[in-house]
Structure formats: C-alpha cells, structure tokens
Amino acid sequence: MSSGGLSPEQTRRVVAVALDLAREGDTEQLVEFVAHGLPVNVSDEAGNTLLMLAAYHGHAGTVSTLVGLGADPDLRNSRDQAPVAGALFKGADDVVAVLRRAGADLDAGTPTARAAATLFGRAHLLTD
C-alpha cells in the first residue's frame, strides 16, 4: 500500500478496517480501498487475506470481485489453510464454486480442499 504519508499505525488501522470489510462482505468499499492503493492480497498477522476472510464468511460476490481485482485464490494463512477449504468448512457452496472457477488449487493447504470436502460430506462440490 502506498503510504501516502500514513504512519505505520494509520496503515495498520486501514488494513484492519479493510479486513473487517472483507468479513462483512462490503464489496463496494473494498473496491475503493484497492483502487486507492491497498494491495488486494494484504493480510493480517495470521496471514488471512481479504479473500480468505470473505470466503470464510460466505461472501461469494466479494470473493468474485477480489479475484477479478487480482486476489490470489491459493494464498494460505499461517496455519496453511486455503480459502477454498475454509469455504468448504463453512458450507459456503457458492464461494466454493467461485474459487473453483478462479482455478483454486484443490490439493493445496492443510487440510486440502479435497480432504475438507470429504470430511464435511461435500465432495460432490469438487467433481466436474
């Protein structure tokens, strides 16, 4: 993110607000943050990106928009969790579909999306 004269504390606050917007699925405001220089793959201390948080909280439209803005569907957090596995865990079938269309790696992370789908009885979502 271009600091634009922001202090480290102000930058931290901007990132925290953006992460909350992703949790809430506030696509319009997230687009504005990215348009003003926030990196689309920014993450929190635990490695959770905007995409990860939007996926985990079931916001398919936000996930689709973030992917369109260049968000990497395969970035994993510090626990090696991938967004698609989080969406499977939460039962967000529409998010899983968006991430599959975006080319999410179903074999990446711990557990992999395939393992999570089997564990949660959602393997049918990963078949073509």
Rounded CA separation 82/76 (Å): 5
76-115 pLDDT, tens per residue? 999 999 999 999 989 999 999 999 999 999 999 999 999 9
Q: Is the pLDDT of residue 58 over 60?
A: yes
Q: Is-contact 42 14, C-beta < 8 A?
A: no
Q: Is-contact 50 66, C-beta < 8 A?
A: yes
Q: Distance of alpha carbon 98 from its chain centroid, rounded?
A: 11
Q: Is-contact 60 22, C-beta < 8 A?
A: no
Measured CA distances, 99 to 8, 11, 24, 36, 45 (Å): 32, 29, 18, 25, 23
Number of domains in the chain: 1
Q: Where in the sequence is the domain holding 118, given as residue range(s)?
A: 8-126
CATH number, position 109:
1.25.40.20
